[in-house]
Structure 1
Amino acid sequence: MVPSGTREAATKAQRHGPLSWVVVLLAGSVCVAVVVAVGSIARVPGSGLAALDEWVPWLLPAARLAGDLAAAATVGCLVAAAVLLTERGVLAPAGYRWLLRATWPAVAWGASAVLLLPGLLVEFLNTDLSQVSFLALVAFVRDTPFGAAQAATAALAAVVAVGSRVVLTTAGARVLLVLALLAVVPPAVAEYAEADGTGVPVAIAATGMVLHVLAALVWSGTLAALLLTRLSSRDLVTAVRRYSRAAPLLVLVVGGSGLLTAAADLEDPGQWLQTAYGRVVLLKIAGFAALVGVGWWHRRRTLPALASGQAGAFRRIAAVELLVFAITFGLAVGLSRTPAPVHAPAESEMSQPALLAR
C-alpha cells in the first residue's frame, strides 16, 4: 500500500503551463519546414516516386514527431521516477507523481505507432489509403521489419501505460523504464534489417542508431520531467545533481553516434553541403552544439543557484534547453523524410539491378 501522504501528494494536479505547447508547436513548425523544403510532400523519400495519396506525406512525419515527443516524455518521467529520486521499496511521492505523468505520453506513443502503420504500408505498396485493409495491415506487420517494429513499439508502450497506473514500487518503475527503452529499439533498427553489406558494418550502424536515439530520449525527456514537475527545493537539488552527473555521458553518446551514422550516409565530403540530406544533418549538428552550450551554461550557473535555493534559475535555463531540443526533434523527423545520397555501386555490382535509395 502507498502511504496516504504519498498518494495525496502524488495526485495533486500540476499545471504544465504553456511551455509544453510551445515545444510541440516549435518542433512541428521545424519539421514541416524541412519536409516541404526537401520535397517529401510531393514524392516518396525512399523511391522518389510521386506520392499517390496527399494525406500520407503529412501523416507520417506528424505521427513520427508525436511519437518521438511522447517517447521522450515517457522515458524521462520513468527515469526521474526510477533513478533520480528513489526510496527503498515504495516510490517516493515525487517518483509516484512522475510515474502517473508517464501514462498519457505512453498512450500517445503507442497510438502514434499504430497510426504510422497505414502510412508506411501506403508508401511500401505505392498506393493510397483507400486501398489499405485490415488484412493488408496484418500482413504488413507479419512480413516486414517496418510493420513488426511499429507493432512491437505499440504493444510495449501499452504495457508501460497500464503499468504506470498500477506499479507502486521503485523496482516496478525500473522494470517499466526498461520496457520503455526496449520499445525504442525496433523502429531504430528496422531499416537495417534488410540492409545490404556484411554483417559487421550493418550491426555497427544499427547499434549506433539505437544508442543515438536512446541517449537523446533520456537526455531530453529527463530534462522535461524535471522542468514540468514542481518539486521541493531539496528534491529538485538532489534530482538535478544526479541528472547533471549523467548528462556528459549522454552528450558523448548522442554526439558520437550521430556523427558516425551521418558519416556512413555521407561518404563524399561534398555531400554535406551539396545534398539536402547533408544540409539537414549540418542543421542537426548546429542544434546539438547549441544544446551542449546551454548544458555547459546549466552546469556552471544553475547548480550553485539551486544549492542556494534559487530554483527559478534552473527552470529558466532548462526552458531554453528544452526549446532547443524541440528544434532538434523537428530536424530529426525532417531528416527521416529526407532521401539519403545514393552511393555509387562498386564495379562488381555494376551488373546488378539498381536498388531504390532508402
Structure 2
Amino acid sequence: MTTGRRAPGAAPPQWRVLGPVVVAALFGVVLAWMLRGSGGLAWVAIARVLADCVGAVVIGFAALPRLNDRLTVTWRPLAALAGVWFVAEFTVLVCEAAEIVGVPVARLGAGDFVTFLGRLSGGQIGIAILFCTGAIVCYSALAFRRPDTASADLVLVFAAVALSLRPITGHMSQQMFGSVLAAIHALAAALWLGLLLAMVLVLRTRGEWAATLPHYSRLAAPLVAVVALTGLINGVVRLGGLAPLFSSGYGRILLAKLAVLCALVALGWWWRRTWVRKAADHRVTAEVSLRNAAIEVVAMALAFGLAATLAVTA
C-alpha cells in the first residue's frame, strides 16, 4: 500500500522538468544544424548546450536567495549540479580537441588531447573552466556540512568566471569591447534561465512563489534587453550586413534565435499582466506557477540550443 510520501533522498517531483528542458535544448541544436545546411551535426554544440544550461542552473541556485531572503542555498543539489557541469565541460573539451585534430571523439588519442590542453588557448581556457567548476563542487560539498558558515558569493564568482571565459575568447574578442559584450551576453542569459529554473526546482508553496516571482519578473526585463542588444550587436558585427541573414547558415540560426526570443518576450509580457500579478496576491496555486515557469524554461532551453550551435558555427 502506498502512502503518497516521497522517499527520503528522492528528488522532488518538480525536478522532472529537467527532462523536457534537456529535450528542448537538444532539439534547438538539431534545428540549428538543419538551418545551417552544411556540415555534420556538431557534437561539441550538444556538449556545450548541456554545459551552458547546467551552469545557468548553478548560478541560479546561488543567486536565488537574493530574490527572496527567506530562501537559503540548497547545497546538496547545488553540489550535484556542479558535478554535472564539471563533466559537461570536460566533454566539451574532448569534443573541441577531436574537432581540432580532425578525428571522431572515439578516436581521439590521449597524446593529442594533452597537446590540446597544454598548447592551444582553447584547451587552456577549458582547464580554467574545469578549475572553476571543480571549485564549486568542492565548496558546495563542504557547505552542505557547514551551511551556517557558508556563503553563496564564492559560488557566484566562480560560476560567473566559468560562464564568461569561453565567450570572451571567441570571435567577438577581436572587436573593440567585443569580449565585454560577449561576457555580459553570456551572464545575462545564464541568469535569465538559471534563476527561473532554480525557482522551478526549489519553490514549493504559493507563498514562496508570491514572494519570489515578482522580483524575478522585474529583473527579467532588463536581462532580456541586455541579451537582445548584445546578441544583435554580435550578429551584426559577425555578418557584416543584412543579406547573410538569409544566405548563410549563421544568419539563419540567428534569425531562429531571434524568433524564439521574440516569442519569449511576448510570453513574458503576458505572464506579467496575468500570472505574476495573481501570484503576488496569492491567487495562483504553486502547481499553476510551476507549470507556467516550466513552459517558459523549456522555451528558453530551445534558445540555448540554437545559441550553442551558433557559437560553434563559422
TM-superposed deviation, 1:176: 1.0
> Is 2:99 the counterpart of 1:126?
no
- Residue 77 of structure 1 is aligned with which of 37, 61, 85? 61
SS of 1:96's partner is coil
Measured against aligned partners, the alpha-carbon deviations of 1:151-177 in whole angstroms (never above 9, x if no partner) come to: 111111111122222222586112211
CA distance in 2, matches of 1:174, 1:84: 14
Equivalence for 1:96? 73
Pair 234,129 (structure 1): closer, same or farther in 2 beyond 3 Å: closer
Pair 11,126 (structure 1): closer, same or farther in 2 beyond 3 Å: closer
Larger Rg: 1
Residues 72 and 218 in structure 1, CA contact (< 8 A), matched pair in contact too:
yes
Trace 1:263-302 onto structure 2 (pairs within 5 A).
Answer: 263-302=236-275
Residues 145 and 193 in structure 1, CA contact (< 8 A), matched pair in contact too:
no
Equivalence for 1:137? 113
Equivalence for 2:180? 207
Pair 120,13 (structure 1): closer, same or farther in 2 beyond 3 Å: closer
- Residue 307 of structure 1 is aligned with which of 262, 276, 280? 280
CA distance in 1, matches of 2:60, 2:257: 21
| Structure 1 runs, 4 residues or longer, greater than 3 Å off | 10-13, 39-42, 127-136, 192-195
Matched positions, count: 302
Pair 331,160 (structure 1): closer, same or farther in 2 beyond 3 Å: same
TM-superposed deviation, 1:129: 4.4
SS of 2:72's partner is helix
Comparing 313-322 with 205-214, greater Cα deviation is found at: 313-322
TM-superposed deviation, 1:206: 1.6
Equivalence for 2:3? none
- Residue 67 of structure 1 is aligned with which of 37, 41, 51? 51
SS of 2:129's partner is helix
Measured against aligned partners, the alpha-carbon deviations of 1:19-47 in whole angstroms (never above 9, x if no partner) come to: 221111122122123224425653xxxxx
Residues 305 and 313 in structure 1, CA contact (< 8 A), matched pair in contact too:
no
- Residue 321 of structure 1 is aligned with which of 296, 299, 302? 296
CA distance in 1, matches of 2:107, 2:22: 32
CA distance in 2, matches of 1:271, 1:169: 54
- Residue 332 of structure 1 is aligned with which of 302, 307, 310? 307
Residues 73 and 152 in structure 2, CA contact (< 8 A), matched pair in contact too:
no
CA distance in 2, matches of 1:203, 1:267: 15
The Cα RMSD (Å) is: 2.4
> Is 2:149 the counterpart of 1:173?
no
Residues 75 and 221 in structure 1, CA contact (< 8 A), matched pair in contact too:
yes
Residues 133 and 162 in structure 2, CA contact (< 8 A), matched pair in contact too:
yes
SS of 2:274's partner is helix
Residue identity in the other structure for 2:169:
A
TM-superposed deviation, 1:271: 0.9
- Residue 169 of structure 2 is aligned with which of 160, 181, 190? 190
Measured against aligned partners, the alpha-carbon deviations of 1:298-328 in whole angstroms (never above 9, x if no partner) come to: 2211222113321344333222211210210
TM-superposed deviation, 1:144: 1.8
- Residue 140 of structure 2 is aligned with which of 147, 150, 164? 164
Residues 35 and 338 in structure 1, CA contact (< 8 A), matched pair in contact too:
no
Residues 294 and 317 in structure 1, CA contact (< 8 A), matched pair in contact too:
no
TM-superposed deviation, 1:15: 2.3
Equivalence for 1:220? 193
Equivalence for 2:20? 22
Residue identity in the other structure for 1:113:
E
Pair 322,302 (structure 1): closer, same or farther in 2 beyond 3 Å: same
Equivalence for 1:234? 207
Pair 193,297 (structure 1): closer, same or farther in 2 beyond 3 Å: closer
Please give the TM-score of this superposition, normalised by the length of structure 2.
0.87
Pair 268,78 (structure 1): closer, same or farther in 2 beyond 3 Å: same
Residues 60 and 198 in structure 2, CA contact (< 8 A), matched pair in contact too:
yes
Residue identity in the other structure for 1:315:
L
Please give the TM-score of this superposition, normalised by the length of structure 1.
0.77
Higher RCO structure (Cα 8 Å, ≥6 apart): 2
